[in-house]
Chains A and B, each alone.
Chain A
Amino acid sequence: MWQFFHKLGSPKWFYGIATRLMPWLLVVGAALLLAGVVWGLAFAPKDYLQGNSYRIIFIHVPTAFLAQSVYIMMAVAAVVTLVWRMKLADVFVKAVAPVGLVLTFLALFTGAVWGKPTWGTWWIWDARLTSMLILLFLYGGVIALDRAINDEKSAARAVSVLVLVGVVNIPIIKYSVEWWNTLHQPATFKLTEKPSMPAEMWVPLLLSVLGLYFIFGWLACLRMQTEIIFREQRTRWVKDLVMAGRP
């Protein structure tokens, strides 16, 4: 168990695993996402209330869902950084923060464009939208703080603390549609209940959520590899790797 834990913390070991995993993540992710999006755009039935504008859901929900779960993953990694000082955990936080930023922006953007024909407005300052905007700022803050501190270890500690403080925002996003009055509709998927939409709608949605998860996995591996090369460039194995000219 402990041996496995130490192996997991080894950048060299991770680099090798990531290289082998990445083609699968990309192929499976692209296939699932494409299937979900094409199905959702062209084949899923029209919503009786919102008409065709609801088709935005097939990218809005995946990006919003991932934006939050990436932050939770970052928070877990931040705990690991602070408690066990594991290098890879910090590499993960640094590598995925820009991905989270893009996903949160996409969730907000697609939400605003969906809001116009559905609610009659691009934006309102209600709990769900505002807490998502705060998530965007948190991602931006993590990136900025990391860049502002030159020393790697101090940066890792400061960023971890910021990520953990910001985690309070996640339950606020999640329950905002239940705690406060809002224009936003309640959650599409719940673990305890069957979805309130027909299968021809939620199956493609599930496919695109899963697909985006795999694409995120690919992005995380790729960006972690980049960070590992940069940090470990003084080691023998990175030098061999770089001079061999393979990815």
Chain B
Amino acid sequence: MAFESLSAFIAMEGHGPYVWTCYGVFVVLLAGLMLWSQRRRRTTMEACRRNYEREAQGQQRTARPAATFTRVEVSQD
């Protein structure tokens, strides 16, 4: 150990706030990025699964148009 006690380790001879701020932000951002990336893969897969299921249902119902268009008369005056 480079330090004699736990309190000396935390204080780092006055440089503690600087050192621990850096390490704190590093851990939060790196862990955050890792968790967010993992969550994103899961949500992407879930969204795809919902798409597939919706398509499967759509195929069972027959002759349903993909979209409906309504002609709207707009007067020009």
Contacts and interface: CB of A to CB of B under 8 A. Distances in A.
A154 B12 CA distance: 52
Contacts, number: 98
A37 B19 CA distance: 12
Contacts of A113: 18, 21-22
A223 interface: yes
Contacts of A186: none
A68 interface: no
A177 interface: no
A229 B45 contact: yes
Given A55-B12, A113-B18, A242 B45 contact: yes
A222 B30 contact: no
Contact of B38 (A41, A116, A222, A229): A222
B3 to A, nearest CB: 7
A241 to B, nearest CB: 8
A42 interface: yes
B32 to A, nearest CB: 8
Given A59-B26, A222-B37, A53 B44 contact: no
Nearest to A63: B26
A88 interface: no
Interface of A: 37, 41-46, 51-53, 55-56, 59-60, 63, 98-99, 102, 105-106, 109-110, 113-114, 116-117, 215, 218-219, 222-223, 225-226, 229-230, 233, 238-239, 242-243, 245, 247
The 4 closest A-B pairs by CB, nearest first: A52-B12, A53-B15, A226-B41, A52-B15
